[in-house]
Amino acid sequence: MITTAFPDSFINELVARNDIVDVVSGYVRLGKKSGSNMFGLCPFHSEKTPSFSVSPDKQIYHCFGCGKGGGVISFIMEIENLSFPEAVAFLARRANMPLPEQEDARESKKRSRLYALNRDAARFFYEQLSAPAGERAREYMQRRGISRTTATNFGLGCAPDDWSALEKAMREKGYTDYELFDAGLIKKGRNGGWYDTFRDRLMFPVIDVQGRVIGFSGRILGENGPKYLNSPETPVFNKGRNLFALNLAKKSKNGYILLSEGNIDVVSLHQAGFDSAVASLGTSLTAEQARLISRYTGQVVIAYDNDAAGQKAAQRAIAILEKLDLKVRVLQMSGAKDPDEFIRLKGPEAFARLIEGSENQIEYLLAQVAKKYDLSADAQKLDYLREVEDLLARRPSAAEREIYCRRIASEVGISPEVLIGEVTGRRKRILRSMEKAEGRGSPERGSQPAERQLRYDDPASAVAEEGVIRLLCRDPELASAPCLPAAEEFSSPELGHIYAVLLARLREGRSVSADVLGGELEQQEISLLVNIQQKPETLANSAKALDDYINRIRQRRREKTQGLDPMQIYRQRKEELEKQK
């Protein structure tokens, strides 16, 4: 946990100069109004009806769909994938505010140092490409048709076939071995010494959307080692949250992101004029990467390798991208294994025609299913129809389901009404199963946080714990109440932590706005707090309400200690009510 190193007064001034509506409008189209609040489509989850609310009065945002919420700093942390100090610095630059001296900036300084180290390492690799040590890298680039102009645009470089070339060069610039190790640039040997992580490789710097070098990917030039080697996870590099070349592709006017598998494919595509190409970094596409893509486009063209692994990866990617309501098309390459080979063999014009003729996601998925069966055999035709029924039943659009049902029915020679009926029945079963899995109709479901990463083990107690937090936010004088519980009495660790932070601040007479709390609470805790604050609470008799909530928390603890099951608790309460009558 990063503790905020900024004075509350500075944070309050920062927030005042960065109106949340202005900031959010740079990422979300806000239009629909309800009272004083403005609504738009949530940038953090897929939705078709706006549930993302921004309050100009309270200077907070809250999504009624996914539960995310907070102030303007929290929003920048979430949307730009920044730490609290980095988000503060981001907004300070936006408002032309100088940053104050920080009480404890070790973590921020460490990250800044790693960014600088990666930048200097990238420059070292780039210089080596023109040096004698880069001869094999230059020969490889020539064989792959990569021009020097393209190499310069991507900042390509060469890691020499030397055990310590980078380490020595960075030491001369004042970096320590431990900093190099933290950046993933050197490793510790068996004899206790250090050696370069990247050796004898064509180097691809990984640059984030803010233009910072965050890591590297290296393609082997010799025989020893894996074909591609990526930087390990570091304080500034998470391969599941970044995409190679998105810093360049985000500027494209193509109107779509071209998603490929490898760095060489991306470089070749950009060189051929397809400047919206990106690639994941040694992993399958992740939900975080998909959300990153959705900030810059509403359409994705998948150009994965033309082999079984590439086809499976495409199907996984479709499932992830569809959740964000992105339109997806899939290239079907013939005569080449990947985009790089296709362009070298057939040229950019042929690839452009390939994009124009690419299939939408449902046509692609149906074609993949059809490939598995011999539709001239009745038994296989039935298996094909069962798989198709399941695929179509999961499509959200009724019109789309009917169109494809009629097409497939015609292809296999059955009545469209029969297939439509089977798909409709299958869809109803799927929806019932989903409702059951989500606990829809359960009284506990409505007590759970909107964010699915958070779950309450004891919803009955958590409702009361939320009530205590809500009352403290609305009536700070209650922080001096004599019988307040300890944070350890809360059943939810997240609620206990929020409560402890709030109580300490209120007793010190400090602010408890979502923005100042961003340095002391996790992002999901901020969202949870904002969600709690949105719920109704009367202050007509706040002291009595606080006592009632506290009593409920302690009663639940006693019940759990006694090991009573829900039916025993119900009977006890019923008996108590009967006695009162």
**CATH number of the domain where residue 513 is located:** 1.10.860
Q: With cut-offs at 50, 70 and 90, classify the pLDDT of residue 133.
A: very high
Residue 320's domain spans which residues? 246-364
**Is pLDDT at 377 greater than 80 in this prediction?**
yes
532 shares a domain with 564 = yes
| Confidence (pLDDT) at 198 | 97
Whether the predicted pLDDT of 174 surpasses 90: yes
Q: What is the 3-state secondary structure (H, E, C) of 348-395?
A: HHHHHHHHHCCEEHHHHHHHHHHCCCCCCCHHHHHHHHHHHHHHHHCC
Q: Which segment of 94-108, 316-330, 476-490 scores lowest on mean pLDDT?
A: 94-108
Chain Cα centroid distance, residue 7: 30
**Claim to verify: residue 116 and residue 211 sit in the same structural domain:** yes
How, if at all, do strands 257-260 and 299-303 pair? parallel
The structure tokens 């009361």 sit at 464
Answer yes or no: do 254 and 356 share one domain: yes
Q: What is the reported pLDDT for 101?
A: 63
Position 105 scores a pLDDT of: 55
Q: Average pLDDT of 564-568?
A: 51
3-state secondary structure of 513: coil
Whether 159 and 178 share a structural domain:
yes
Mean pLDDT value across residues 182-201: 93
| Average of per-residue pLDDT across 14-34 | 87
The residue count of the chain comes to 581
Domain boundary residue, one of 330, 348, 364: 364
Q: Is the pLDDT of residue 515 over 90?
A: no
Tell whether 408 is covered by a domain. Answer: yes
Does 169 score more than 90 pLDDT? yes
Q: Has residue 481 got a pLDDT over 90?
A: no
pLDDT at 544 over 60: yes
CATH number of the domain residue 159 falls in: 3.90.980.10
Residues 325 and 421 in one domain: no
359 lies in the same domain as 376: no
Is 101 inside a domain boundary? no
Q: Residue 99: inside a domain, yes or no?
A: no
Percent of the chain with pLDDT over 90: 42
Residue 224 sits in the same domain as residue 345: no
End of a domain among 364, 390, 420? 364
Q: Cα(514)–Cα(497) distance, rounded to whole angstroms?
A: 14
Q: Are 392 and 449 within one domain?
A: no
* Interval 250-263: pLDDT, tens: 999 998 999 999 89
Q: What are 504's two structure tokens?
A: 């300490």
What pLDDT does 240 receive? 85
Q: What is the pLDDT of residues 224-246, one digit of tens each?
A: 788 999 999 998 898 888 999 99
Instruction: Give the pLDDT score at 572.
Output: 58
Structure tokens at 346: 């057939």
Q: What is the pLDDT at residue 445? A: 46
Query: Which among 185, 202, 237 is the end of a domain?
Result: 237
Average pLDDT (318-341) is: 87
- What average pLDDT does range 174-200 have in this prediction? 93
For residue 322, give the CATH number of its domain.
Answer: 3.40.1360.10
If asked whether residues 251 and 132 sit together in one domain, one would say no
Q: What are phi and psi of 282, to 5 degrees?
A: 80, 10
Identify whether residues 115 and 83 lie together within a single domain.
no
Residue showing tokens 């690839």: 351
At residue 5, the pLDDT reads 63
3-state DSSP call for residue 158? strand
SS3 for 564?
coil
In a domain, 100, yes or no: no
Q: What is the pLDDT of residue 3?
A: 43
Phi-psi sector, 481: left (phi>0), alpha (psi -120 to 50), beta: beta
| 511 and 416 within one domain | no
> Which of residues 288 and 531 earns the better pLDDT score?
531
Domain membership of residue 140 (yes or no) is yes
Q: Which of 92-106, 204-218, 334-348, 361-375 has the lowest mean pLDDT?
A: 92-106
Please say whether the beta carbons of 525 and 496 come within 8 A: no
Residues 177 and 132 in one domain: yes
Is residue 187 one of the residues assigned to a domain?
A: yes
What is the rounded average pLDDT for all residues in the chain?
Answer: 86
- Residue 182 maps to a domain: yes
In a domain, 67, yes or no: yes
Number of domains composing the chain: 5
The pTM (predicted TM-score) of the whole model is 0.63
